[in-house]
Structure 1
Amino acid sequence: MAEEIILKAGGNVYGGWTKISVTRSLEAMSGSFDLELTWKWQGNSGQYKAFMEPIKQGEACIVEIGGERVITGYVDDWVPSYDEGQVIISVSGRDKTSDLVDCSIDMASGQFNNQTLTQIANTVCKPFGIKVIVNTDVGAAFPRIQIEQGETPHELLSRLARQRGVLLTSDTLGNLVITRRSKQSAGVSLILGENVKAARGRFSYRQRFSKFKIKAAGAAFGGNWDSAPLSSVGGISAEVTDTEVGRYRPMIIVNEEITTAEGAAKRGQWERQRSIAKSNTAEYTVTGWRIPQTGKLWNINTLVPVTDEIIGLDEELLISSVMFSEDDAGRLAVVSVVKPESFDIPAQVVKQTKLGGGEWSQ
């Protein structure tokens, strides 16, 4: 069944796009779209204006695939071009959460005291009209968080999420989602010689390190650190090793906030796992936007078994991003996969963590 991508904006519905790209990623706070339409010039500018003029940059919009919403956000760019025979209209945009990426936090106080990630996220998202969906435990409250001058909600929440080992992404309704990696199956396998049209792997050592040392200021009295004597406030450190890295490659990270030993450990464990994700990736191109076995659109944060003798994969992997495209090459989905543990903190990694306190060791 042929499915059309439509853009709803300015009270109108636009279809017939000749070039399409819609991307959702577990690693991005905002989904995005790029649509292009070629309109053959018929010598009637009034007809053209009546068709395209209502689309305005900054306009609220919705993108749907076969009646299923995939983007809720705004039109970023409206790019018209033409020659003697045709007009080409390009429209691009992102989820509502794009405002969290672009804009600065404007708060009189400039800090949060003894608040959880959920509370902080709700506070900074409220002025933008963005709802926060929490699908996981976000951990303990932060003793004190200072907003940097000009810092965006994305920058603030990302540095806090790293300390709690959680992911920040968006859903198809434009909400901010705080989550962890899923154990849900995609209901399909990617198999060389069957449903894989093309593939590309990347396995790198550039982002791998033998150990991650997190250094941070800590407070013995938790949320009451301001009233604690100076002698009780000291340095906290956590060290996480990566036994897969054989040579000496240390990475020292200075934590941005006052934290606990547990918080420093979580940050180190998370940095180790994310380095694995950045260093071991593969993307698979398949025909069509939906999974034949389920009829559902390919979706991020789902598990898919991969059998690929050329790239050397025979394991269950996590879908980290999906790009739906259509052009002269046909209707395709590009599915990016990573090791599931790269978005998780396995028990073995916790065992490989050493904690320190008092003066920072060198």
Structure 2
Amino acid sequence: MPDDLTLTVGGQSIAGWTSIRVTRGMERIPSDFDISLTERYPNVSDIVVMEGDPCVVAIDGDTVITGYVDRVSEIVDAHNHVLSVCGRGKCEDIVDCSAQFDSFQFKKVTAADVATALCKPFGITVKVIGSPGILFEQVNLNVGDTPYAKIDELCKAAQLLCYEDADGALVLAPISTVEAAGGFALGVNVERAGYLRDISQRFSEYRVYLVGVGLLQDLGVQALTEYTVNDTTMPRYRPKAFIAETGDAGATVAKQHALWECNRRIGRGNVVTVTTSSWRDAAGTLYAPNTLAALSLPQLKLIDGQKFTIGEVTYRRDMNGTACDLILMPPQGFQPEPILYMPLPQDVAAALAGTNRYY
């Protein structure tokens, strides 16, 4: 069978799965799978898969998930023996567990440095694509924080995505410009496609107000600074206002946030779903998250050749056959949210860092 799925676990490589669902995504961490087989597989009663086993899920030799078995279900009757296995990628541990670090504090580090330290106890590799981003003077952990929650927070400040790759590593990267060969075209490699256009959560203006913080002054004396981002594609007047975060870097971050709100809402208001019978693009590469794809779907009123980013991929096989379901959006729909990591005046933050009181 082309593109057969193999589960390697406990020294066994098990193929012949009759029901397959494997999902990977840019905003879905960890990746996960749900597969099953019946007595049609020879000696199914001899297959031993235990919960907690390390495993590798591969499609025709191409690894798609490296992780662990979470659940095993076996059902028998007079005629059938059904084995079902569910599992997730290695990054499940940094999502589920609490972070551990000797001092619970880092100084002068990048998001990649913190990610590497927090992932190390779980045997998870960190891969950085491009620049590691800004240097943080100090990073503190709270008791009970998960590694992923802290890493995600730092990645937003550094404007990086963080997601799991096929090898179970945590990837820190910008939005990719790598493109899937062949794109998607109805009647060529697309069985079904949908296009959701939604303006209910979009606005014509995104305004940021920087409110003065001078003390002991009369009301109205301090200037009210305004910054505006316009969405010219909105058909009517719909303003949205935000108060800038405190600190002298707050205005800069708030302006970035206004632009992000505009672009993000445009992206999330244009969602394309595609179902294709193949798990691979025209070059034979498995479809993967954080990949661009050109769309030729004029029936859906899309600009021919417009490139959307693949946000989520599901490889599936069931009684209805083999298919790949994909969710795509404009690239700006996946841009990380800008945040002000330390909402303090920069000179105050520097002084506190020097006296080990940087909160």
Among 143, 155, 174, which residue is 1:180 paired with? 174
2:279–2:286 contact (8 Å) kept in structure 1: yes
Tell which deviates more after alignment, 239-248 or 182-191: 239-248
Separation in structure 2 between the aligned mates of residue 320 and residue 195 of structure 1, nearest angstrom: 19
C-alpha distance in 1 between matches for 2:255 and 2:118? 26
Distance 2:71 2:181 in 1: 36
Whole-angstrom distance in 1 between the partners of 2:170 and 2:249? 25
| Offset of residue 175 of structure 1 | 0.7
For residues 259-281 of structure 1, the C-alpha deviation after alignment (integer angstroms, 9 at most, x for no partner) is 77655655555455443433321
Pairing partner for 2:151 from 150, 154, 157 = 157
CA contact (8 A) 2:127 2:169 kept: yes
Give the conservation status (yes or no) of the 8 Å contact 1:28–1:168.
Answer: no
Partner of 1:318: 309
3-state DSSP class of the match of 1:297? coil
- 1:212, CA displacement in angstroms? 7.0
Q: Tell me, what secondary structure is at the counterpart of 1:304? A: strand
Q: Deviations over 1:225-250 (max 9, x none)?
A: xxxxxxxxxxxx99673525540233
1:23 positional shift: 1.2
Residues 212-361 of structure 1 aligned to structure 2 (within 5 Å): 241-243=229-231, 244=233, 246-250=237-241, 266=256, 269-291=259-281, 293-314=282-303, 315-344=306-335
Q: What's 2:196 paired with?
A: 202
Deviation readout 1:18-47 (Å, 9 max, x if unpaired): 1001111122232211101123699xxxx6
8 A Cα contact 1:29 1:176, kept in partner = no
Question: Percent identity of the aligned residues?
Answer: 30
3-state SS of the aligned residue for 1:63? strand
Task: Give yes or no for contact 1:192–1:308 (8 Å, CA) kept in 2.
Answer: yes
Q: SS where residue 300 of structure 2 aligns? A: coil
Q: Of residues 22, 47, 50 in structure 1, which corresponds to 2:46? A: 50
2:134 to 126, 134, 140: 140
Give the ranges of 4+ consecutive aligned residues of structure 1 lying more than 4 Å apart after TM superposition.
Answer: 212-215, 237-240, 251-255, 257-272
Alpha-carbon separation, structure 2, partners of 1:199 and 1:18: 25
| Structure 1 counterpart of 2:39 | 39
TM-score by length of 1: 0.78
| Cα distance between partner residues in 2 of 1:84 and 1:41 | 16
Assess if the C-alpha contact under 8 Å between 1:165 and 1:267 holds in 2: no
Aligned partner (choices 97, 101, 107) of residue 103 of structure 1: 97
Counterparts of 1:12 and 1:104 in 2: how far apart (Å)? 32
CA RMSD of aligned residues (A): 3.2
Q: 2:229 is aligned with what amino acid?
A: T
Residue number in structure 2 paired with 1:25: 25
Write the distance in 1 (CA, Å) between the matches of 2:84 and 2:227.
49
Q: Residue 38 of structure 2 aligns to a residue in which SS?
A: strand
Deviations 1:182-205 (A, max 9, x none): 112211121223321012232333
TM-superposed CA distance for 1:105, in Å, is 0.6
Report deviation, 1:143: 2.6
Equivalents in 2 of 1:155, 1:88: separation in Å? 37
Is the Cα contact below 8 Å between 1:212 and 1:268 reproduced in 2? Answer: yes
Report the Cα offset of residue 179 of structure 1.
0.6
CA contact (8 A) 2:16 2:41 kept: no
Structure 1: distance between partners of 2:2 and 2:124: 33
Q: Does the Cα contact within 8 Å between 1:100 and 1:125 map onto a contact in 2? A: yes
Q: Which runs of 5+ in 1 are unaligned?
A: 216-236, 350-355
Where do 1:46-85 residues align within 5 Å? 49-51=45-47, 54-85=48-79
